[in-house]
Chain A
Amino acid sequence: DAGVIQSPRHEVTEMGQEVTLRCKPISGHDYLFWYRQTMMRGLELLIYFNNNVPIDDSGMPEDRFSAKMPNASFSTLKIQPSEPRDSAVYFCASSFSGSGDTQYFGPGTRLTVL
């Protein structure tokens, strides 16, 4: 298995620019999660999908953040416009079922907004 795939692995951009992060979950997994990790706040859930439908986006910090899952094998997290405080490592994870099931994390995208 290829595991969860994220791209790009590193992204450096300037304040105000649009940033798009991509995720391919493990085939057959019905749940997809986006998390953000910073030193100050640790690892936080942003949003998650079940069968491509957003279920809980209460962790999305602002309207500048949006996420989509157009099909079972692809999801995007977009930040527009980006700000320096968005600098973090963004992780995508997937699981076969919901609560209690093992979540498999991708390697993350390290985002730096200058």
Chain B
Amino acid sequence: TQLLEQSPQFLSIQEGENLTVYCNSSSVFSSLQWYRQEPGEGPVLLVTVVTGGEVKKLKRLTFQFGDARKDSSLHITAAQPGDTGLYLCARHGGGADGLTFGKGTHLIIQP
């Protein structure tokens, strides 16, 4: 099993601060996805990164795929309470269609 390790597991910060969360593995990925899950709901896809070194931006969220395609980071600038949620990274299994998820980072943005 090719595990995805996410860190930190929990993060609580004040509104307006910046933060970075990480997703790491010992294996190379063809692509990696980031999801956000709010309480009582299913995960929602934020972005897919495919190319080593790729950077994608989604408003205040910046996603980066490592050059070696073994790790990824999510940076949030000027965090807002609406950013609160569980952030999950996921990859497609080799040759299979289902997703393998990391355990996620629980993010709380306090007003």
Which A residues touch B42, using CB under 8 A?
Answer: 4, 91, 93, 105-108
- Partner among B31, B45, B99 whose Cβ is within 8 Å of the Cβ of A45: B99
- Contact flags (1/0) for B82-111 with A, using CB distance below 8 Å? 000000100011011111111110000000
Given the contacts A100-B31, A103-B45, A42 and B98 also touching, CB distance less than 8 Å: no
Shortest CB-to-CB span from B10 to chain A, Å, is 12
How far is B41's CA from A93's CA once the two chains are assembled, in angstroms?
12
**Stretch in contact with the other chain, from A14-22, A48-56, A62-70, A79-87:** A48-56
- What chain B residues lie within 8 Å of A31 (beta carbons)? 97
Q: Which residue from A41, A55, A105 sits with its C-beta under 8 Å from B43?
A: A105
Question: What chain B residues lie within 8 Å of A100 (beta carbons)?
Answer: 30-31, 48, 92
Q: Which of chain B's residues 64-81 have a Cβ closer than 8 Å to chain A?
A: none
B44 at the interface (CB under 8 A from A): yes
Complex Cα distance A106/B42, Å? 6
Please encode chain A, from 27 to 64, with 1 for each CB lying within 8 Å of some chain B CB and 0 for all others.
00001010100000111110010100001100100000
The residues of B that contact A56 with a CB separation of less than 8 Å are: 96-98
Q: Which of A77-114 contact B (CB under 8 A)?
A: 91, 93, 95, 98-100, 102-103, 105-108
Binding site for B on A (CB under 8 A): 4, 31, 33, 35, 41-45, 48, 50, 55-56, 59, 91, 93, 95, 98-100, 102-103, 105-108
Q: Can you list 11 A-B pairs, Cβ within 8 angstroms, ordered by A?
A: A44-B101, A45-B99, A45-B100, A50-B97, A99-B95, A99-B97, A102-B45, A105-B44, A106-B42, A108-B41, A108-B42
B interface residues with partner A (beta carbon < 8 Å): 30-31, 40-45, 48, 88, 92-93, 95-104
